[in-house]
A and B are shown apart, each in its own frame.
Chain A
Amino acid sequence: MSRLGPFFGTLRSENRRAVIPYLVAGDPDEALTVPLMHSLVEAGADIIEVGVPFSDPMSEGPTIQKGHERALGGGTSLLSTLALVKQFRETNTETPLVLMGYANPLERKGYAAVADACAEAGIDGLITVDLPPEEVAAMNAELQRQNIDNIFLISPTTGDERVATITAQASGFIYYVALKGVTGAGHLDTDAVEAHLATIRQHTSLPVAVGFGIKDADTAATVAGCADAVVVGSALVDLVANDLKSGGSHTSAISGAHSLISSIRNGVNLATSN
């Protein structure tokens, strides 16, 4: 049973906003992933988005692309990603976990087998970048069988009618892509984000997370003014990669990640305390 519904219920009753860090499983090696996840939770992460490495991550900017390449270089696959999730669950059964990835690794294993493996590992939801509502029916049926949420993306180019189609099929939360572009790109137009979120909320009572372009505590705080959750991806992947590249250890990379998420946590909290 997905943890996302109950989690967001509690979050809303407490008038809080969620912080959702994104990492690529196995980036740069599998030994870092689980300790990093635990540290993110300690720093105030509410949900963790676990990227499944793919050879052709078409929606990712250069930062996260490199993360996928490093993870693949170390041999991380969908199955080993789920093994890492299982390891995380040995000491954390509370934090909702969402897989984010691309269709082909799921197709290759078969949607039924993927749904079963995700349920067994303790995954709560899936975001599949290249499975829009038109192509998702087969996978959705399997996810529903295992009570795993299917989280859809809505973008600035999604028209009103389409928002209704998407929200009708979605569960868990809606992931609003804050800008036209790839992950880690450009600058956010927070007024536009606010306007789009208002449209989305006319169609659904599901929580809305906002991602793409949130780099620091300030942007996170601004977005948290209108969103239920903020997703931080490239900034975190970049920080860890740079620390390790400049000779840092796993410990120093984890501590850097902890600081980043703590500061974003504080920014988000400020946004709701005013």
Chain B
Amino acid sequence: MTIDINPDLYAQVPDEHGRFGIYGGKFVAETLMSALAELENLYNDLKDDPAFLREFDLDLAHYVGRPSPLYEAARWSDMIGGGRIYLKREDLNHTGAHKVNNTIGQALLAKYMGKKRVIAETGAGQHGVASATVAARLGLECHVFMGEEDVRRQALNVYRMKLLGAEVIPVTSGSKTLKDAMNEALRDWVTNVDNTFYIIGTVAGPHPYPMLVRDFQSVIGREARAQSLAMTGKLPDALVACVGGGSNAIGLFHPFLSDNEVAMYGVEAGGKGVETGEHAAPLSAGIPGVLHGNRTYLMQDENGQIMHTHSVSAGLDYPGVGPEHSWLKDIGRVNYVDATDTEALAAFHRVTRVEGIMPALETAHALAYAEKLAAEMIPCQHIIVNLSGRGDKDILTVAEIDGIDLGTR
């Protein structure tokens, strides 16, 4: 399937208002508008500044450990017997996920702005850990907002953040998950806007966040593109990444968007099945609306109230999605599909056993779909899956689901 879209289109978004087509924008309370303008101006000055980019690249090389390898999952691919699967090993980054690419970038912006206090929201805790890590390194005060439900199911990451010197604030409002953590972070930012930098963890939020998080994460796709050419002599036939807010997916996809021959699949959390309503798949089953500063596909009821979501993975348990994904869906560039809790858990176990790589439960959604896709392909075709994070943080959840008592509770 080849796509016929003008390859110049992608450089034109977001526009000056932060819009991707009808999506994106700056839907926030007036108190935050000046802070967003300040950030936007600074970022516009820095994004092509060689000194800033060199500093970012050096941090990625020496602190994060980039480039991350592209690895051919040979045994798994042989078992599937179709297309070859390559894994972009973001799990090997410092702190164990792609999230750190973005926190390194935003911490640099905070440093340039002279802010001494950073805040972050987190779902699975990976972004919280990555934020606490850069804060520790730069000597910044760090507060991480995390839904009470996620504090419970991601206890290991909570302790990691505390070890790093961050304060973890359990959020008890609403559904007690990622969306509520983001509400609370926005409330903190409005209160402490003068001295605080808000490190948003995904390609959502008000402009310029979806743009700058995308830019920082695009290192994933730039490396993967060069690695694919070097290892296979061609571009991949397909890219697969999981989508919660969508930062690892945009990071992989963006540098390939103009390559119309590369198919792309964003895998949402199908939860107990999209047809049951218990899922976190706004692109598959949502309606456009406004939440957390941008217009995007949302899971909402007929009165415009945001619905509770369900996913086995805390990092995908979010009722919205980055606005650029909404746009990429509407123009038909990216296919948005889903994998259920059960499918993701099966893929978690399979890749762990077959490749010796334990993926995060978020990532396992992408792996579950990649397996189906590979089965329909032929061996001269290949897929790159963003192995966005490692699964150590999830072993308590997996043990609980499998009915295994580790004696930790």
Q: Mark A residues whose CB is within 8 Å of B.
A: 54-59, 61-62, 65, 69, 72, 77-79, 102-109, 129-132, 134-135, 152-159, 162, 166, 177, 180-182, 185-186
Residues of B within 8 A of A131 (CB): 27
B304: interface (CB < 8 Å): yes
- When C-beta atoms are compared, the residue in chain B nearest to A157 turns out to be B34
- Nearest CB of chain B from residue A118's CB, rounded to whole Å: 15
Pick the contact of A105: B35, B293, B304 (CB < 8 A): B304
Whole-angstrom CA separation of A230 from B305 in the bound complex: 29
Given A56-B174, A56-B183, A134-B17, CB of A158 within 8 Å of CB of B191: no
B290: interface (CB < 8 Å): yes
Residues of A within 8 A of B29 (CB): 58-59, 129-130, 132, 153, 155, 177
B304 pairs with A157, CB closer than 8 A: no
Please provide the 3 A-B residue pairs with the shortest distance between their CB atoms, ordered closest to farther: A108-B304, A105-B304, A77-B303
Residues of A within 8 A of B31 (CB): 153, 155-157, 177, 180-181
Residues of A within 8 A of B293 (CB): 130
Given A103-B27, A154-B30, CB of A180 within 8 Å of CB of B193: yes
Q: Taking each of B28, B174, B290, which has the highest tally of chain A beta carbons within 10 Å of its own beta carbon?
A: B290
B26: interface (CB < 8 Å): yes
- Where chain B touches its partner, the secondary structure class is mixed
- When C-beta atoms are compared, the residue in chain A nearest to B184 turns out to be A58
13 additional A-B pairs beyond A54-B304, A105-B303, A105-B305, beta carbons within 8 Å, are A55-B306, A56-B180, A59-B29, A59-B187, A62-B173, A104-B291, A108-B287, A132-B26, A132-B27, A132-B30, A134-B25, A158-B30, A185-B191
- Nearest CB of chain B from residue A262's CB, rounded to whole Å: 31
- The tally of residues in B whose CB lies under 8 Å from a CB in A reads 39
Residues of B within 8 A of A155 (CB): 29-31
Given A58-B183, A105-B304, CB of A152 within 8 Å of CB of B190: no
Q: Mark B residues whose CB is within 8 Å of A.
A: 17, 25-35, 173-174, 179-180, 183, 186-187, 190-194, 287-293, 295, 298, 300, 302-306
Given A58-B186, A104-B289, CB of A130 within 8 Å of CB of B304: no
Given A104-B298, A107-B304, CB of A157 within 8 Å of CB of B174: no
A109 pairs with B30, CB closer than 8 A: no
B305 pairs with A72, CB closer than 8 A: yes
B305 pairs with A107, CB closer than 8 A: no
Whole-angstrom CA separation of A57 from B291 in the bound complex: 10
Whole-angstrom CA separation of A135 from B191 in the bound complex: 23
- Nearest CB of chain A from residue B294's CB, rounded to whole Å: 10
- Nearest CB of chain A from residue B104's CB, rounded to whole Å: 27
Residues of B within 8 A of A135 (CB): 25-27
Residues of A within 8 A of B26 (CB): 132, 134-135
- Nearest CB of chain B from residue A176's CB, rounded to whole Å: 10
B190 pairs with A182, CB closer than 8 A: yes
Residues of A within 8 A of B304 (CB): 54, 78, 104-109
A107 pairs with B303, CB closer than 8 A: no
Whole-angstrom CA separation of A3 from B32 in the bound complex: 31
Whole-angstrom CA separation of A109 from B187 in the bound complex: 26
A78 pairs with B173, CB closer than 8 A: no
Residues of B within 8 A of A104 (CB): 289-291, 298, 300, 304-306
